[in-house]
Amino acid sequence: MSLRSATRLRVPLRAATEFLHGEEASGLLLMLAAAAAVVWANWSGDSYERIWRTPLAVGLAPFALVKPLLLWINDGLMAVFFLLVALEIKREIRGGELASVRRAALPIAAALGGMIAPAAIYGVLNAGGPGARGWGIPMATDIAFALGVLALLGRRVAPSLRVFLAAVAIADDLGAVLVIALFYTGDLAWMPIGLAMVVFTVLLVVNESGIERATLYLLLGATLWLCVLESGVHATIAGVVLAFTIPPALISRLEHALKPWVALAILPLFALSNAGVRLTGGVTAFALDPITIGVVLGLFVGKQLGITASCCVLVRFGIASMPSGATWRQLYAVALLCGIGFTMSLFIATLAFGPSSRLEAAKIGVLAGSLLSGVAGYLVVAGRRNAA
């Protein structure tokens, strides 16, 4: 190959590499995986259910752990996702957008407003009904999806809004983690909890000793995950606990190593295994279900109202400043994009309802609410430019 040919190939290869490491690729893969799940579940629902119920053994007999494939994804692989989320939260608290009260005020207030308003809307529509337990579903924001849509807008939005959206989503994720830990935990088994505390103590000792071997932390983390799995607390919380014992010197390295796996493999696989909803009762039946309505309105209406109102109050009273170079229209578009709940919303839905018709109704709500929010957020900015 000539030097000129090699140079010509280098440009598209570099562009492809940047795309695969960006939010656009993660968002696109999530959309494709979700669409594939819905098609598969309605084309061959039995095979869709059967494959995710397939038992999978990890380890050697008699100590092998046998669980359905879906559990390995939702409790195992998603623990890695939560580890990455918690690492990002820790980094932002140590030196990012959440490092000081002044800088953190706007995204934290936005995240709180964006959690309270959706939960309230859902709660009003489902109070005392069979769907009451699902109030946490519309509280979540899918950071990969939301940032992916924002990236598609390019220079039409202020660069500071990407940082703001990431900070809001990270604060939102922290809230979602707390909600899962406090309200979506099963019956507790105290022996595994005690063992988990021992492992956590060892992790703290290793941290205080100045040891910076990632392999050691990950091995102890896997042990912690096993203890939490058997405790009744959702196993993904182990990823969060592990993250806060990781030394600062390892955070960027682990984030860099985990991000491609999470964005390009774990999250699409989660979407494929969880987004498949069978429309056996017809779309009309789901559209009239208070669970579906509550999730859709929570994500699409509650998120934008809660985030925009919170930002208005803080900015108007001088408690916080607008992201540099951003307009209120752009901020409103970001509030809409935060209504893309998808990954975390589907995750909470599975914890709230388990396999049931209520879960199917919640999934429809998550997909519809996320789609409405994403399209509306994009059009608010893109439409402005076209009008100009």
The pLDDT of residue 151 is: 74
Residue with tokens 């109070």: 127
CA-wise closest residue to 139 among 348, 355, 358: 348
Per-residue pLDDT of the chain (388 residues; tens, 9 = 90+): 554 544 454 444 344 444 445 556 777 788 888 889 989 988 887 899 899 999 988 876 666 788 899 889 988 998 898 898 888 878 877 877 667 777 788 999 999 999 999 999 999 999 999 999 999 999 988 877 787 788 777 777 887 888 788 888 878 877 887 888 788 876 678 898 899 999 999 999 999 999 989 999 999 999 999 998 888 777 888 898 999 899 988 988 999 999 888 888 998 898 899 888 777 656 666 788 999 999 999 999 999 999 999 999 999 998 888 888 889 999 999 999 999 988 889 989 988 998 888 998 999 999 999 999 999 998 998 866 544 4
pLDDT digits (tens, 9 = 90+) for 122-163: 999 999 999 999 999 999 888 777 877 887 777 778 878 887
**φ, ψ for residue 275 (rounded to 5)?**
-90, -5
Question: Which residues, other chains included, contact 134 with Cβ-Cβ below 8 Å and sequence gap of 6+?
Answer: 122, 126, 291, 294, 295, 348, 349, 352, 353, 358, 362
Whether the CB-CB separation of 134 and 295 falls below 8 Å is answered with yes
The pLDDT of residue 279 is: 72
Which tokens belong to 311? 């930002």
CA-wise closest residue to 90 among 170, 162, 25: 170
d(CA 169, CA 303): 12
List Cα–Cα distances, 25 to 141, 173, 184, 311, 385, in angstroms.
18, 21, 31, 30, 24
Whether the CB-CB separation of 141 and 114 falls below 8 Å is answered with yes
The pLDDT of residue 198 is: 96
d(CA 287, CA 294): 10
The pLDDT of residue 4 is: 53
Whether the CB-CB separation of 344 and 176 falls below 8 Å is answered with yes
d(CA 60, CA 7): 50
d(CA 257, CA 371): 30
pTM of the model: 0.76
- Annotated domain spans of the chain: 36-73+101-183+275-387
Q: Is 278 left (phi over 0), alpha (psi -120 to 50) or beta?
A: beta
The pLDDT of residue 120 is: 97
Whether the CB-CB separation of 348 and 184 falls below 8 Å is answered with yes
Burial class (CB in 10 A: 0-12, 13-18, 19+), 181: middle
**φ, ψ for residue 67 (rounded to 5)?**
-140, 155
Q: Which CATH superfamily is domain 36-73+101-183+275-387 in?
A: Na+/H+ antiporter like domain (1.20.1530.10)
Give the DSSP H or E segment for 55.
strand 55-58
pLDDT digits (tens, 9 = 90+) for 198-255: 999 999 999 999 998 999 999 999 999 999 888 877 788 889 899 989 998 898 899 9
DSSP string, 13-40: HHHHHHHHTSHHHHHHHHHHHHHHHHHH
**How many CB atoms within 10 Å of residue 250?**
16
b/e sequence 328-341, b meaning 16+ C-beta within 10 Å: eebbbbbbbbbbbb
Greatest alpha-carbon pair distance for the chain in Å reads 72
Per the document, the length of the chain is 388
- DSSP assigned state of 314: H
